[in-house]
Amino acid sequence: MILAHFKPPKSFPSPYLVLRTDSKGLVSLDFVASVPSTTPNSDALMQAVLESLEGYFSGTLFSFDLPLSLSASPFSLQVWQALQNIPYASTKTYQEIAHAINKPRACRAVGNANHNNPIPIIIPCHRVVPKSGGLGGYGGGVQIKEWLLKHEQRHKL
């Protein structure tokens, strides 16, 4: 397991992102208040992840093409794949995602899969909102979700 950290822009509500990769791809991305005491490592894959995040936060990268190493139920994997199809600076509702995966009655289950997404930003769960309006919840906190959505609106083509 390779561990690294990334410092987003000062305006971002979380001071650091901690990233983990394995031999297959990116495993997790966590929002943290301080850098872990573990010394970060790097390899070609992690370097690609860090460069992609730099592009995303600078407003020059609009989609990610990184290998992911995901371990979850087939349903969660299906939801996470659907999330990756939401265009940059766009949003979909939980219901729209449920319909996209041909499980129109699974809105709550979609919400749970969204909540359990181990790789936020890269798998853009921040782009999913309730049909009733507003932002809904976000595992990293609503402030982060709001920042990400506004960031994408500022940089959309």
Residue 125 annotated to the active site: yes
Kind plus residue range of the DSSP H or E element containing 128 = strand 128-129
How far is Cα 24 from Cα 83, in angstroms, rounded to an integer?
20
CB 52 within 8 A of CB 33: no
Question: Catalytic residue among 86, 113, 125, 148, which?
Answer: 125
Q: Which amino acid is at 86?
A: I
Which value, in Å, is the radius of gyration of the alpha carbons in the chain?
15
Q: Which amino acid is at 16?
A: Y
- Max distance between CA atoms of the chain, in angstroms, equals 45
Give residues with Cβ within 8 angstroms of 42, minimum separation 6: 2, 4, 50
Active site amino acids: 125
